[in-house]
Structures are given as structure tokens and as C-alpha cells.
């Protein structure tokens, strides 16, 4: 599971309205989706969202939100890397740009008509030089994350906490470039999501799958970024809470190297516009803002909108 992602704080088990060409009648959905006693009795902040996510699986054509879905029409970043696009140079790259993320998941195989099973997730995060008329407003960088994972709902309440979900999976991350602009890596990850009435907690760790060293920097084979875990990190720790109508999400990523410690923190502050949309203020500080920037320390602040996630 992925709740928060500090390369975009993220809450995993979040429902978008199901898409499909066929609808099952209400009784069929009720027969297929059962609510457990712990979901009814427990006041955890995530229970209503997870119940909705499970109910959407009654439609076999459903697609649900995976990480956050948002658009930040205006952001300011302190140290953007121009290497992500051939038309950009250190002299003409703009500190002002738009950022957006689209993220969905769909079930591949479900066990016993429950939310337990195998899923396919796909996330696209883009950094758009929208205000850079000098070079025709190009996309500076786009990151792609396909992943496949097994998810199991825990439905365990202990000491006032609901252990909501566990995930184990494979993640590929790439910017789709070649030569010296190429960035990519593969990892196996495990994560756990738990919550209480007002708070969400998230822990994720991963192991990078080793690659052969490049013989030539323009060779398509070999490791594009052998030191990425030293900057991007080896684990994520997330926390979310609500203060009145405001919601705060924070994610800390760290390389667990105390001799040469690096990582990042991202803070998201949201306020509801409607039942479906929030205003989003996002702040990032550290390494791994994007793949092309993985080894460049950045600060970014942006304002925009996102699909409601709690």
C-alpha cells in the first residue's frame, strides 16, 4: 500500500468514481462486498474511504485512485535541472513551472470477492515549463511509475489503531529518456498503513534491484543512476492528520546513512472546495523531487487542486 509519497505525498486506498460500460444491480454489489464488524465499529479516519474503495470493486470495470491526483498550475523550484529536455539550458530554464500527477490502479486478481489480491498501478508525474515562452513551454521532465503489487486488508484494531492494509510489490520508475538524460530503476517494496480517529501513519521500505554498470554513458544497457538510493532514499515515513476542515500530510524519505545523511520532506496542506476537490498547497525540500533532479537538493512550493483523498 502506499498512503503518502514524498515525491508526491500519497494516500493509496482512495476511490475515484468507477468507470465502466456495464453496471451490476444493487443486490449483486451487496452480495459481493461485505463490510466487516471492525469497519463498522472502528472510528478510524480511513475506514469510510477504504469501505468506498472496496465497494467500487463490485464493478469489474472500476478504476480507483492510487497515489494523489492533482494539478499545481504554478510552482516555484529553486534548482531545476535543464538536462531533462534538449531545448533547455542552465541559462533558459525557468524556476516557475506547472506540476501535475495522475495515478490509478486496477485489480488484476481478487481473492474471494474481497479487496485482497493483485493490483496494477500506474502513475505519471510531469514538470511543465508552462511560463517559459523562450523555448515554447516544453515539458522539462516526466516520470512514469508502473507497478504490480499484492495488497491485503488487515482489518486489525489494536491499542486504538486500525491496521488498514499491507502491500508487497515491484515498482519501476523511469523518465523515458535516453543517453545522458536517462534515469530509471527497479525496486521491490513492502509497506503498511495504519490509522486512528484523526491520524494516518504510513511506513514503506524497499530494496533496489541491482543493475550492471554502464560501459558508455550513451549505452541503453546498464545502470542510469547507480547512486540513486544515496539521494532518493531507502524508506518513507508518512503522517497525516486533520485540523478542522484542513488536512495535513507529511512524508519523510531518508537514505538511512547517518554518515552522509540525505533525504527529503514534503508537506501538503489541503482545504475542501467540494466533496470531490480540494485546494492544495504543497512544499518540498530535499532530494528526489524528480528523477532528473534526484541528486540535486531542491525546494519547491506550489498551489493548485487535487481530488479529495480523505
pLDDT tens per residue across span 268-294: 999 999 989 999 999 999 999 999 999
Q: What is the DSSP-derived secondary structure letter of residue 137?
A: -
Question: Mean per-residue pLDDT for 48-72?
Answer: 75
**CA-closest candidate to residue 236, choices 269, 279, 189:** 189
Query: 213 or 154: which carries more pLDDT confidence?
Result: 213
Neighbours of 8 (CB within 10 A): 24
pLDDT at 188 over 80: yes
Instruction: Determine the pLDDT at residue 204.
Output: 97
Instruction: Determine the pLDDT at residue 38.
Output: 31
- DSSP assignment of 250-291: EEEEE---TTS--EEEEEEEEEESSSSEEEEEEEEEES-SSS
Alpha-carbon distance 169 to 226, whole Å?
A: 21
The C-alpha angle with vertex 165 and arms to 164 and 167, in degrees rounded to 5, equals: 165
Question: Mean per-residue pLDDT for 59-81?
Answer: 89
Q: Are strands 184-195 and 64-65 parallel, antiparallel or unpaired?
A: unpaired
Residues designated catalytic: 172, 174
Alpha-carbon distance 220 to 89, whole Å?
A: 23
Dihedral pair phi/psi, residue 232, rounded to 5°? -65, -35
Instruction: Determine the pLDDT at residue 54.
Output: 66
Q: CB-based contacts of 37: which residues, under 8 Å, 6+ apart?
A: none
Task: Convert the pLDDT of each residue in 20-54 to its tens digit.
Answer: 333 334 444 344 333 333 332 334 556 556 666 66
Q: Which stretches does DSSP call E strand in the chain?
A: 64-65, 70-77, 96-110, 117-128, 139-158, 161-174, 184-195, 199-208, 235-243, 246-254, 263-272, 277-286, 298-307
Predicted confidence band at 63 (pLDDT cuts at 50, 70, 90)? confident
**CA-closest candidate to residue 171, choices 155, 187, 185:** 187
In three-state form (DSSP H/G/I as H, E/B as E, the rest C), the secondary structure along 225-250 is CCCHHHHHCCEEEEEEEEECCEEEEE
Q: CB-based contacts of 88: which residues, under 8 Å, 6+ apart?
A: 82, 129, 135, 138, 140
Task: Convert the pLDDT of each residue in 119-157 to its tens digit.
Answer: 999 999 999 999 999 999 999 999 999 999 999 987 777
% pLDDT > 70, the chain: 77
The structural domains of the chain, ordered by start, are 26-307 (2.40.230.10)
Amino acid at each position: 500500500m502506499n498512503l503518502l509519497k514524498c515525491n508526491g505525498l500519497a494516500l493509496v486506498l482512495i476511490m475515484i468514481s468507477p468507470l465502466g460500460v456495464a453496471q451490476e444491480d444493487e443486490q449483486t454489489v451487496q452480495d459481493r462486498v461485505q463490510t466487516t464488524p471492525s469497519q463498522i465499529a472502528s472510528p478510524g479516519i480511513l475506514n469510510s474511504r477504504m469501505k468506498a474503495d472496496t465497494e467500487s470493486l463490485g464493478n469489474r470495470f472500476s478504476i480507483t485512485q492510487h497515489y494523489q491526483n492533482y494539478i499545481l498550475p504554478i510552482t516555484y523550484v529553486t534548482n531545476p535541472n535543464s538536462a531533462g529536455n534538449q531545448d533547455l539550458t542552465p541559462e533558459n530554464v525557468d524556476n516557475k513551472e506547472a506540476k501535475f500527477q495522475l495515478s490509478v490502479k486496477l485489480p488484476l486478481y481478487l481473492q474471494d470477492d474481497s479487496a485482497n489480491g493483485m493490483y496494477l498501478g500506474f502513475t505519471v508525474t510531469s514538470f511543465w515549463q508552462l511560463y517559459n515562452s523562450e523555448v515554447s513551454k516544453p515539458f522539462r521532465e516526466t516520470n512514469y511509475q508502473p507497478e504490480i503489487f499484492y495488497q491485503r486488508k488487515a482489518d486489525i484494531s489494536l491499542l486504538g489503531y486500525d491496521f488498514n492494509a499491507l502491500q508487497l510489490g515491484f515498482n519501476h520508475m523511469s523518465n523515458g529518456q535516453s543517453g545522458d538524460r536517462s534515469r530509471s530503476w527497479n525496486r521491490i517494496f513492502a509497506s503498511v498503513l495504519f490509522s486512528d480517529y484523526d491520524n494516518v501513519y504510513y511506513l514503506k521500505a524497499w530494496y533496489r534491484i541491482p543493475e550492471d554498470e554502464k560501459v558508455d554513458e550513451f549505452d541503453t544497457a546498464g545502470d542510469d543512476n547507480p547512486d540513486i538510493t544515496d539521494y532518493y532514499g531507502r524508506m518513507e515515513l508518512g503522517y497525516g492528520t486533520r485540523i478542522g476542515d484542513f488536512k495535513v500530510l507529511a512524508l519523510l524519505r531518508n537514505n538511512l546513512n547517518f554518515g552522509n545523511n540525505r533525504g527529503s520532506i514534503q508537506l501538503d496542506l489541503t482545504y475542501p472546495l467540494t466533496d470531490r476537490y480540494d485546494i492544495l498547497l504543497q512544499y518540498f525540500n530535499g532530494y528526489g523531487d524528480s528523477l532528473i533532479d534526484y541528486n540535486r537538493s531542491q525546494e519547491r512550493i506550489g498551489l493548485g487542486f487535487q481530488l479529495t483523498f480523505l
